Amino acid sequence: MRLAHITAKDFDLARSLDSGQVFHWENRGAGYVGTIGAKAVYVEQLGERLFFAGVTAKVLARYFSLDHPLAEICRALPSDPAMTAARDFCQGLRIIRQPRWECLATFITSSMKQVAHIRQMSQALRRRFGARKTISGSHVHAFPGPARLASATEKELRECALGYRAKNLLATARLVASGEANLEEWRSLPDDALRSRLCELPGVGAKVANCVMLFAFERLRAFPIDVWIERVLKEKYFPRKRKVTPQQLRAFSESYFGEQGGYAQQYLFHHARKGGGR
DNA sequence: CTCCAGGGATGAT
DNA sequence: ATCATCCATGGA
């Protein structure tokens, strides 16, 4: 297959795909196969070029947020030791623009699960309910739409190893499929209102809502606090304090990281997980 | 085997 | 408002 290519500066494909944002891309040869929306995609990186097939250059560049001014964003990050180390470790890691429903559904399944298992559940859902596609000799599956999952039974979802999360995913799929929850309309809401709406959905609390805001609604201030980030914040920014409440962590992260909260959080998260940073 | 994971919902202080 | 408990499952 003949591949098209585009230039991608300040971008590390492998690092971005392996940073716990998206859970379905798989290694194939020198690159990766996956889906962007309903399209099957192959993509590989050679230096500052992305070689790809399956989508237009415009769709690919948008998905990988090649328009984000990464150098500028990194300069604007706080320059404390923890943040500097994370930033150096995460060069080229970009926040990916995910399809809204796919991101929401995937993070509903993510609660109390390791990244490896989120990948498993994503793949099981795709294989069982998603449209099968072929790209450069590989088979991939699109993520099933809300209507498809809404028509499934809780038992079928549990068979994808969702456990107690099956009930929440099913209930949310029904709300979205019925139009009672309109993710596209919510794009125009300010951050706080959007977060409130997301938190009304079964299986969505502040953490998942912030992930969806960051990864699917382009809210780059959103700062999801999971167990990893909680540890990092306590160790690096509240050294030897006995009681640090979730409330304090939230207030601190919002004021300290501010506009760059999303990238700051993702870099701290990835560094903590992959950096061997104890 | 035990421990823990990109948490959320519910009910008791 | 904070705290405790339960919820399934599988990787480490």
Predicted confidence at residue A2, as pLDDT, reads 83
| pLDDT mean across residues, chain A | 97
Model confidence band, residue A276 (pLDDT cutoffs 50, 70, 90): low
CA distance A50 to A32: 11
Q: Which nucleotide comes closest to A265 if you measure CA to C1'? A: B6
Considering only CA atoms, which of A258, A228, A215, A221 is closest in space to residue A105? Answer: A215
CA of A64 to C1' of B8 (A): 30
Cβ of A200 near strand B (distance < 7 A): no
Q: Which nucleotide comes closest to A229 if you measure CA to C1'? A: B6
* pLDDT, mean of residues A203-221: 98
Given a cut of 70, is residue A18 above it in pLDDT? yes
Give how far Cα A258 sits from Cα of A85, A230, A253, Å. 19, 17, 7
Given a cut of 80, is residue A248 above it in pLDDT? yes
* pLDDT, mean of residues A157-166: 98
If you measure CA to C1', which residue is closest to nucleotide C3?
A245
Q: Give the model confidence (pLDDT) of A34-69 as tens digits.
A: 999 999 999 999 999 999 999 999 999 999 999 999
Model confidence band, residue A278 (pLDDT cutoffs 50, 70, 90): very low
Cβ of A116 near strand B (distance < 7 A): yes
CA of A225 to C1' of B11 (A): 24
Cβ of A226 near strand B (distance < 7 A): yes
Predicted confidence at residue A196, as pLDDT, reads 98
For residue A124, report the phi and psi dihedrals to the nearest 5 degrees: -65, -45
CA distance A38 to A30: 23
